[in-house]
Structures are given as C-alpha cells and as structure tokens.
Amino acid sequence: MRKGERSARTRILEIDRLLTSCYGDSPRSTSSPDLLDGLVLTILSQNTSDVNSHRAFRSLKDRFPGWDQAAEAGEEEIEKAIRSGGISQVKAGRIKAILDMLQQETGSYSLEHLRDMEPQLALDYLMDIPGVGRKTAAVLLLFRLDYPYFPVDTHIFRVGKRLGVIPAKSNPEKAHDLMDEMVPDDIKYRFHINLITHGRQVCKARKPNCVECCLNKRCDRVGVEEEGNHNA
C-alpha cells in the first residue's frame, strides 16, 4: 500500500471511530432473506425515502405474493402497486424486465444462484441486469451477502468529498472503486450506514450543522453548502 493510500485508510478508520461513538455499531443482520426481494426493494429505494420504498414493496407483495404472479401481470399493474414509491413507471419497467430476464435465463424467478458466485462474478452479473447500476448492485451484495462492496449514494458521495475521503474530482464510479479498496471489509457495513445517517441528519447538502458535527475537527470544509446527486 502506497503512502497516500495508508493515509486515506488511517483517515477512514479515524472517521469510523468517531461516527461509531456518535451513532453506534450498526451490526449487519445475520438473517439471509430472499435475494430477488432484496434487489426489488433496492430498486424501489432509488430516489425516494426508506418509508416510501418499504411501503411500495409491501404493496407490491400484497398484490403479487409470488414473483410468478408479478411476471404474469402487466407493467401497468405493477406500476399501480408501487406508485407510493415514486418514479413508479420507470421502476415498474425495471422490475418487469428483471423478471422476464430471470425466467429466460434460469427458468425461475430467483437470484439465489448469486450465493454460489465469487464476489466479482456476482457484481458483474448484477451490473448486466437492466436498470441495475453500481450502487444498487453494491447494496444487494453488501447487505444481503456481506460481499466486500461499498455502496456510494448521494449522501456518502457528498460527505466523503467534504471529509477528503473521496477526491474532489472523483465521479461516482471512481468513488465506488476507491471506497471498495480503502474501507476495510470488516467495517464496510457499519461505515456505510453511519455515513448515510450523518449525511441525512447533520452533514446536509444545504445548511450542514457543523457546530454539532462529531467530525468538525477532522473536516476541512466546515460550513460549506453544496449539492450532491448520485442515485445510480
């Protein structure tokens, strides 16, 4: 590891320590829920709140208890079921495309075969699915399989740049590569959760609450207001 990489790793570990003292450890669930459920829920979470995405997912499952039933339905019926989640037409199209692809490729509506894949192969497989970007794939792999990928959403992209963890000129794709490498595997889940919480509650795009920030002595951009936008 080069000197600059060691410095970045040290900074990440210090930030993780401070965030953990503020927000707790956020241990990953030991349950192993259905992977297709997880992917659809992650798609529904794009560009909306957790409350809205979970409401939309419950509505979808109430309307179509089995994925075979959703696959047989029209895209319009899926859209009605998930309307509370926002951008429902786009998301319904993605869900329908995923179900059709899985049926054609595997003869079933399941992603459980990902459990038998090496992490890189699982990432590549997900990235080939229509409507699945790097963040969505990383969320599924980290949250559901504990694979060593670090999802970078709009909050992490913004806070990471402010803290100097993500270089100012990095794009989201580069930020994913960097965080995959720099954040130790054993803290990836906790660090991801705590950075998002910090971005939502304290280090907001507009009017960051720097006075009460537990990282204000480690941040070179105290008081800076800026927009971040990464929801891939």
Catalytic residues, which ones? 135
Q: What is d(CA 196, CA 126) in angstroms, rounded to the nearest whole number? A: 23
Instruction: Show the tokens assigned to 232.
Output: 């891939």
Nearest one of 45, 232, 212 to 152, comparing CA atoms: 232
Instruction: Return all residues near 209 (Cβ < 8 A) that are at least 6 apart.
Output: 202, 203
Q: What is d(CA 127, CA 167) in angstroms, rounded to the nearest whole number? A: 24
Q: What is d(CA 163, CA 186) in angstroms, rounded to the nearest whole number? A: 21
Q: What is d(CA 162, CA 185) in angstroms, rounded to the nearest whole number? A: 23
